[in-house]
Amino acid sequence: MINRRLALPSEMVFAIVDIETTGGTAQRGGITEVAVIVHDGKQILDTFQTLVNPQRFVPGFITGLTGIDNEMVQDAPTFAEIAEELYSLLEDKVFVAHNVNFDYNFLHYEFGKVGLTFRRPKLCTVRLSRKAFPGHTSYSLGRLCESRGIRIKDRHRAYGDAAATAILFEQIFALDSSIIDSSLKRNSGEAFLPPHINKEKFDGLPQRPGVYYFFNKSNEVVYVGKAINIQSRFKGHFTGKSRNDLKSEIHDVSYTETGSEFLALLLEALEIKRLWPKYNRAQKWPSQSWGIYKYEDGNGYLRFQVGKVQKAVKPLMTFFSHAEAWAEVQNGVRTFGFCPKLAGIQKSPQECYDYPIGKCEGACIGKEMPDAYNLRINNWLNQFGLESKQLLIKSAGRTLDEKAAILFDNGVLKAYGFIDQDLEVHPEGIMDYLTPVKPVLETGLILRSFLSREKLDMTLI
């Protein structure tokens, strides 16, 4: 339970926070422990600490670092179960941590998953220490505390690190509290924001994957983008070498969460094609596309040809350019050992150049029989689901209670939607739960890109 001594309205109160996690990012990790020390700069007003069940496996290297293992957290409360109490404790306080963005971003993400918007002014004791105690070669918590004579009890445990950070913060406050005041003023700055977007609007953007929309004063969409972290990507548009024309034109921003980068890319492609926003013109794709076609030669070997896509003949795969199509064929030659002559890459008069060096099994001169050679061709095609009429992919949902279901038809996005995590639906009945979309060629290119670099949860229908 929390026993809170309320500060006077004129007092500034700080929540000094430390968390332990299963990994390095909020989207891929989970919180295993939280500690909060409420402080007024001179003394501790309140404390809070608890283990947290991250609802995922605690890796061995994390156990080695923190001492927290799976058995310790299996009966601990989940974050959802402590969220309201923790949210109340952090309310109306300045959020303080060593490397503050790590702790802040994890909590922001976890609060968001349970429907709580978490926005607090924040201070980083790394940055404060650089100003208060210049000249150190390292500003890690361990090295800094050692140099300042601060003993850390239970290093890499939430309360032990939070308690050490609190003493460090006291020392900075006692040395020169104006460092803290100036840092707060700087951190609350809104200089990067477009003139028509206020801080509240920016703070309301989620730090999760999705698609975002920029509107002009006439409420027309002038830009569509995708992001793994919508809030961070928004800020990136207007920091550094930002576009002043876009910055002055944007009057509003909205977003759609997707749960994953994969669906964000797909939805971005659909929305650009649907809306044709002014500032996406450089991203508009050419209307002419190229395809890979399969045919069987007189000796029974499957072969490929790259050509422009025509309405009368459907290609196996489609691409933006001739070069991209050939690159995919070359990838098949390298990965599955196709004969480069039969694949159309080499124009040698007899055997291909790869046969003498053992990279080709000899289909070009009849050494490898058509059945064996064609089996490898079809294995390659099946890898991409191209021999199946439909492909269902499941990916992360917007919350832990749901998952995204994404349906492709002949390599192009057909429909998508979000369903309950525990809902059991036969693949052939999935359309009843999804929203159909207009076919957009570019979604097929996105699919192939992810198939080549990530393992997707796929079902052939």
160-181 pLDDT per residue, tens: 999 999 999 999 999 988 888 8
Listed residues 263, 283, 303: the one ending a domain: 283
Residues 142 and 253 placed together within one structural domain of the fold: no
Residues 66 and 81 placed together within one structural domain of the fold: yes
Which of 80-84, 97-101, 246-250, 265-269 has the least mean pLDDT?
246-250
Listed residues 383, 402, 435: the one ending a domain: 383
CATH number of the domain at 228, please.
3.40.1440.10
Residues 368 and 397 placed together within one structural domain of the fold: no
- What is the domain range of residue 413? 390-460
How would DSSP label each residue in 309-351?
A: --SSS--SEEESSHHHHHHHHHHHHHHH---TTTTTS---SSS
For residue 385, pLDDT beyond 60: no
Are the C-beta atoms of 22 and 62 separated by less than 8 Å?
yes
Q: How confident is the model at residue 452 (pLDDT cuts 50, 70, 90)?
A: low
Q: What is the average pLDDT across 422-436? A: 81
For residue 348, pLDDT beyond 80: no
Pairing of strands 14-21, 94-97: parallel
Number of domains in the chain: 4
Listed residues 224, 252, 283: the one ending a domain: 283
Q: What is the average pLDDT across 22-48? A: 92
222 domain residue, yes or no:
yes
pTM exceeds 0.75: no
The residues near 375 (Cβ < 8 Å, ≥ 6 apart) are none
Q: How confident is the model at residue 287 (pLDDT cuts 50, 70, 90)?
A: low
56 domain residue, yes or no:
yes
Taking phi first (over 0 means left), then psi (-120 to 50 degrees means alpha), and beta for anything else, what does residue 174 get? alpha
Residues 27 and 156 placed together within one structural domain of the fold: yes
Edge-first strand listing for the sheet containing 457-460: 435-436, 412-420, 402-409, 390-396, 457-460
Pairing of strands 412-420, 402-409: antiparallel
Residues 50 and 138 placed together within one structural domain of the fold: yes
Residues 306 and 451 placed together within one structural domain of the fold: no
Residues 159 and 37 placed together within one structural domain of the fold: yes
Residues 66 and 134 placed together within one structural domain of the fold: yes
